[in-house]
Each structure stands twice: as C-alpha cells, then as structure tokens.
Chains A and B, each alone.
Chain A
Amino acid sequence: MHKLIIKRLLITLPMLLGLTLIVFTMLYFSPGDPARIILGDTASEEEVQALREKMGLNEPFLHQYVSYLRGVLRGDLGTSYQTGLPVTAEIRARLPVTARLALLSIGFAMVVGIPLGVVSAVKQNTWIDNLARILSLLGLTMPSFWLALLLVLFFAVRLGWLPPSGMYGPQYYILPVISISTVSIATFARMTRSSLLETVRHDYVRTARAKGLAEKVVVLRHALRNALIPITTVVGMQLASVLGGAVVNEQIFAIPGVGKMMLDAIKARNYPLVQGGVLVLALFFSLLNLGLDILYGLLDPRIRDEIENQAGGY
C-alpha cells in the first residue's frame, strides 16, 4: 500500500511541474502585449517599454518560466491586469463555488446513474431497460449548454419554480447540477449496466443463486459489488467532465465561480487570471484523482495491483 502511495506521488509531482510549463507556455503565447493591455491604448511607447522591463517581459522564455515557477511555488500566480489583485486571491474567492458545484454534480450523477444502470441490467430487454438506454443515449449526446438553456426556459422562465441565474442559496444549485451531471449520469448508467451484465455470468453469482439467496441479495450483495470495480475507474474521468461542465454552466447560470471568472477574463484579455484558473482546476482535478486512487487501493487489492502495475509499466 505504501508502495502505491509513493509511486502515485512520484508520478503526480513531475506531472504538476509539467503542468506549470504548459500553462506558462499558453500564457506566454497569449495574444497581445501584457504591458499594453494593462496600460491601455493611451499609454506612450516609453511607458509600455518601462513596464515591460519592470515585469521582466523582455527576459528570455526560460528565464520567465523559472520566475513564474518560483512564484507558483510560493503560491503566487501573478496579478490580475484589471484589478491589480493577486490571482490567488481572485481564485480563492471563487474556487469553493466551483468545487461544490463539481462535487455535487458527480455525487448526483452516481446516485442517479448507478441505480439506473442496475435497474436496466436487472430488467434487461424490457421496456424499462429500453427507456433507460434511450435516456442514457440522449443524456450522452445532448450538449450540456443546450440542456442548461432548456432547463432555464422550462423551470425558471415558464414554470417559475427555480431561479434562472445567480448563486444565493441551495435552490440555485439545482438546475446547474442537473445540467452538469447529465452526461455523467448517462455514462454511469451505461457502465453499470454493461458491467453488471458481465458480472452476473460469473460462477459466484450462480452459486449465490443456487444456494437459494433472494434475487435482491444476489444482485446487490454479490454481483453489484464486483460490477462496481470498473465503474470506480470511470469516476476519475467523470470528474474531468463535471469540472469542464461547471466552467460552461457557471457562464450560463451567472454563477461566480472559477469558470465564469476565466471566461470573463478571456473577453477582457486578462490572461493571468485565465491560466491561473486552468492551473488551479487541473491541480484540483489531479489531487482528487490521487485521493481516489489511494482510496480505491485501500478498498480493493485488485485495483491496488492495477494502479501499481500501471505506475511501473512505463
């Protein structure tokens, strides 16, 4: 187990280093001269040059990257061009909203998607199964932002049951969470269905039936437990999906999170805020994945082996 944790950490740390390089490169190649963006069109060429010198923008690429990396290690992601506030402060104010939105969505997706898949598998090839599969297909292919618009139109504008935008209380989470989690619900339902159908072919399930256990016990205690193993590996991937969904949906529902901050910053050409957001979201995602892998390793020795082999396989 220690081996797993150490190996996973050994992979994660250089990965985060590489991440800073990618994020810095994107920042470096962002359109426009940062000094010009900060000073505006009215500033003279001398003023712009002076600020460039002061910001170190005339240094070579690697030099700039090293000072960026030093800043990141100190917890300094630069300053916002607009407000002059540190990027970390801007993000710290908004990350909790995004994190809550993403975690609520992944939780909701599992709570709805997995039982849907179980029902689908148990009632294989009945109308219930077909309905669940059609719904999954729709959920999988419907663009999240379009679903968000339809939800707003129906539940907020037409029926007036839920608020269309903003973030002032629990009810404001309902529509965004549904919209973000739909793709993941569909994915969990599909995975659970196929995994469960695969599992019930095994001998231990036949044994459980043969010894006269109730069907419910057979499915829930024997089959589902083992069917859930491949699903656990999907959770990590779905985390990426809900984080991406959160970014887009924050914009639609006017939720003051990291995603809306990034998208607003792109419009204002405030690139430190954009790349700071990318870095923090990727960091959040990587650390959650690290935690998940370790948790699975604790829960199931087979997954532990798999992760260890994966880590040593390269």
Chain B
Amino acid sequence: MTGEITTTYIMDVFKRMRRNPLVVISFLVFLLICWLILLADYIAPYPYDYQDHTRVLEPPSRQHLMGTDHLGRDIFSRILHGGRVSLKVGFVSLAGGALGGCLLGVVAGYFGGWLDLVIMRCVEILMAIPRTVLAISMAATLGPGLTNTMLAVAISSVPAFARIARASTLSVKNQVYVEAARALGATHPGIIVRHILPNIMAPIIVQATLGVGTAITLAATLGFLGLGIEPPTPEWGAMLAASRGFMRDHVHMVLFPGLAIMLTVITLNLIGDGLRDALDPKLK
C-alpha cells in the first residue's frame, strides 16, 4: 500500500473515490456536519447554556428541533456546540498521536538495531493495556479537561501509528531510490523526509481517517464516564450521561446525542474505507 504522493497520484485517488457514490455522499454529509458545528454560534437557535425553566424536558417541536433537557436547554443547540469539542478532540488528538506514532515508527524502522528494539518494546507495553482502559487511566492521572482528554486519547492512539509506520518504513527503506539517495550523499533526516515519508503516507492516511472516528468515540466515552470535558461546556458523551436519569420518559434526551456521534463516525468510516480502496485499487 505504498506509492509516492504526486499530483497525478492524488488526482487518480480522487477520481477513484468519486466513482464510489457512498464515499461522495459521506464526504458531503461530513462537510455538512463540520459546517453546522463550526458555525454553531450563528446556526444554533439558542445559546448552549440558555435555560428556560418553563420548558423543561420538552419533546422535539418547531421551537426545539430535538427537544429540551432537564434544565430547559435546547438539545439541538447543545449538540452543535458539543460537536466542536468532539471534532477538536478527534482531530487534534489524532494528529498528535499520528505525529508521535509515525516519528517513533519511522525512526525505529529506518535506523533499526537497539533503537528499534527499545522503541517497539515501549510501544508493545502500551499495547498491553486495552485502549479504553489506557485512556481511562491516563484521564484519571491527568484529571478532567479538554487538553487532558486530548492528551489521553492521543497517547492511546500512538501504538497503532508506530506499528504501521515502522512496517511501511521497513518495506521501503531498502528500495533502490533510497540507496541512490544515500549514494548521492543525502543525510538520514533528508532521506526520511524526502524519500521515506512520502512513500509511507498512504496507509497512515487511511489509519488516520478511521482513527478520527475512534478518537471521537473514545472522547465521548470519557465524557460519558465523567472523565472528560467539564460542564457547563456541552459534550456529546456528557450529554448522554446526563440523560440517564430521564431517558425512561424522555427518549429524545438519549437519542439525539448518540445519533450525532454515530452519524459523524459513520461518515468518517465510510470515507476511510473509500480512501483505502482508492489508494490501493489492487485490494478491490
């Protein structure tokens, strides 16, 4: 699953992705979700912390598209604002985890020897802790809050990237063009940046697209368990936790935040699947 990233190559990938209607639809839906969330300040009909005590736990209506919660807050507005946290955690923590993991993996794979041994053993130790458990215990150690949630999710995504980056590096580092670059006197960092990285991007991009969805779910799980972002900032997981006491008679409270998570993650997954097929047409 390797191929140098060139303009023609990227055009080819896009062309192949365009042929898959499901991917196109997912991409459009995801753009719509991002647009709604980023412009939440203008689109949301109410401020996320506006409480109308006369309209508590109302079912969906024209005034409140997704109803109101136990404090009379508009759930639709809270979901839009809450999406910011989820998207931010999903993308930032994944970018951090991918960067850290790739750095470790490329260094381990490229230099080999004891460096490889030490790095990969550390990665394996992290992998010995189930990911959710790792994120929970990291969150417990770091304490709640946006930055700490991102850090916990980022660290728990490092091992996957490190392994993929290492395996891909191993498969390209003995290629003739790397040898040629070395013969021409290129430095190690130069070879890594100019020749290794562009050639191992494909599997990493796929893992990243699928990983954002996982990161969003994991962040919501932490929020649900009360280990994530603290109130009053709305967050999808925390909204679901709050709905537990009321879901018996007010299904809308538990339904919409969950649907928001699922829709976001589904579109990301479908885009990731489409990207994988497009990057590697042989697999189809």
Contacts and interface: CB of A to CB of B under 8 A. Distances in A.
Contacts of B269: 137, 140-141
A128 interface: no
B226 interface: yes
Contact of A15 (B125, B131, B237): B125
A275 interface: yes
Contact of A240 (B130, B143, B258, B261): B130
A19 interface: yes
A30 B140 contact: yes
A157 interface: yes
A37 B158 CA distance: 33
B130 A18 contact: no
Q: Which of A14, A15, A146, A267 has the most CB of B within 10 A?
A: A146
B125 A150 contact: no
Nearest to B217: A143
A244 interface: yes
Given A282-B129, A282-B133, A285-B128, 6 more contacts: A11-B124, A18-B121, A143-B217, A143-B220, A143-B258, A241-B131
Contacts of B116: 314
B215 interface: no
Nearest to B220: A143
A31 B257 CA distance: 31
A248 B136 CA distance: 10
14 contacts: A18-B122, A22-B129, A141-B269, A143-B221, A145-B240, A247-B130, A248-B132, A262-B137, A266-B136, A266-B227, A278-B129, A281-B130, A282-B128, A286-B128
A285 B127 CA distance: 10
Given A145-B224, A267-B226, A274-B137, A150 B258 contact: yes
A191 B125 CA distance: 26
A157 B130 contact: no
Contact of A248 (B124, B129, B143, B225): B225
Interface residues of A, number: 48
Q: Report whether over half of chain A's contact residues are helix, strand or loop; otherwise say mixed.
A: helix
B266 interface: yes
A278 B225 contact: no
B225 A251 contact: yes
B90 interface: no
B25 interface: no
A18 B120 CA distance: 12
A81 B133 CA distance: 21
A282 B124 contact: no
Interface in A250-299: 251, 262-263, 266-267, 271, 274-275, 278, 281-282, 285-286
Contact of B133 (A18, A153, A243): A243
Interface residues of B, number: 46
A12 to B, nearest CB: 9
Interface string A7-29: 00001001110110011001101
A143 B254 contact: no
A150 B257 CA distance: 12
Interface in B216-254: 217, 220-221, 224-227, 237, 240, 243-244, 247-248, 251, 254
Nearest to B143: A31
B23 to A, nearest CB: 13
Interface string B251-284: 1001001100110011001100000000000000
User: Lowest 10 A-B CB distances belong to which pairs?
Assistant: A244-B132, A146-B258, A240-B130, A18-B125, A141-B265, A244-B130, A243-B130, A266-B140, A26-B141, A282-B129
A206 B193 CA distance: 46
A149 B225 contact: no
Contacts of B10: none
A15 B120 CA distance: 11
Contacts of A266: 136, 140, 227
B213 interface: yes
Contacts of B134: 278
A245 B122 contact: no
Interface string A34-53: 00000000000000000000
B138 interface: yes
B28 interface: no
Given A140-B269, A145-B221, A274-B137, A153 B129 contact: no
